[in-house]
Amino acid sequence: MVGHLPLAQGIGVRVPDPQQFCYTYPMTKTQILKVIKWSTIALIVPILGQLFVDGWNWGVFDFVFAWVFFNLLGLSYTFVTGKVANRSLRIVAGILVVLVFAAVWVMLATG
């Protein structure tokens, strides 16, 4: 009997089902594919920079790193915001994830 205490069945004590308070959900395949799609689309900017801007010297490793980094950012954002039920807290959590990734990007770019 889910939701009942085994020792208190005789007196009818109900224990709340923990799943009704749990706001987590597994990331779906469509969410993961959406993150991969947008990460790939985000690489258009560096590709155009590589073609048209003097001094933009990215190698293949840089593009692969940026793609993986964008995917990690998108998956982290999806994971973290999926755990928060309140809309305003979800916005704050999303901003924090983006700021952390921006800080890491700047630190890696400047050495």
Q: What is the pLDDT of residues 28-45, one digit of tens each?
A: 889 999 999 999 999 999
pLDDT at 21: 43
> Measured between alpha carbons, how far is 28 from 36 in angstroms, rounded to an integer?
13
> For the purposes of burial, counting CB atoms within 10 Å of the CB of 43, is it exposed (0-12), middle (13-18) or buried (19 or more)?
middle
> Measured between alpha carbons, how far is 91 from 75 in angstroms, rounded to an integer?
15
Asked if pLDDT for residue 77 goes beyond 70, the answer is yes
Better pLDDT: 16 or 95: 95
Cα dist. 66→9, 20, 47, 70, 71 in Å? Answer: 57, 38, 11, 6, 8
Asked if pLDDT for residue 9 goes beyond 60, the answer is no
Model pTM? 0.71
Asked if pLDDT for residue 70 goes beyond 70, the answer is yes
> Measured between alpha carbons, how far is 13 from 5 in angstroms, rounded to an integer?
7
pLDDT band, residue 1 (cuts 50/70/90): very low
